[in-house]
Amino acid sequence: MKARFIVILLGLLCCAPAFAQRVEIYGGAQYEHLETSYNAVGWNAAVTGNFKHVLGITADFSGVYNSRGINSSAYTYTAGPVLTARLPVVQPFVHVLFGGATVFLPHLNTNAFAILAGGGLDIGLRKGIGLRLVQADWLRTQFTDRTLDKQLRVSAGLVIKF
């Protein structure tokens, strides 16, 4: 799983300059609430290629870990369009991302279709470096036997722009 993630991330990093005028790489910490009272913390990473001034494509990856009670982890890997308002100091954005989610429990691994819809606010610190004050996403997962749609993900971190 880790090797597949690294290969996909490296592929996106190598190919992004070919289709984008500007590439953004984001990394940060996140809090995730999954139905039914599963709360966990972890990481969030994204690569965005902007091919128009306000329109781009984002590939988003995240992982959360919960060690209370039963050790478990959940990962999402999604991609989709992003719209960004390019204002002088702040850059609000919205996105809709589609992909998958994987949940690891003791003796059980399960995959699901995932949709992330949300947005956030970036603030420029210096040329090429920004701070993502907040990114909030509604998360919907479709497992084979049920749909979970009362889920939330919130993250914050650094943005590097090329």
The CATH code that applies to domain 2-161 is 2.40.160.20
pLDDT over 80 at 37, yes or no:
no
pLDDT in tens, 134-144: 999 999 998 88
Domain boundaries, the chain: 2-161
Q: What is the pLDDT of residue 10?
A: 56
Question: For residue 19, what pLDDT band results from cuts at 50, 70 and 90?
Answer: very low
Mean pLDDT of the chain: 87
Q: What is the pLDDT of residue 94?
A: 98
Query: How far, in Å, CA of 54 to CA of 84, rounded?
Result: 5
**DSSP states of the chain:** -HHHHHHHHHHHHHHHHHH-SEEEEEEEEEEEEETTTEEEEEEEEEEEEESSSSEEEEEEEEEEEE-SSS-EEEEEEEEEEEEE---SSEEEEEEEEEEEEEEEETTEEEEEEEEEEEEEEEEEEETTEEEEEEEEEEEEEE-SS-EEEEEEEEEEEEEEE-
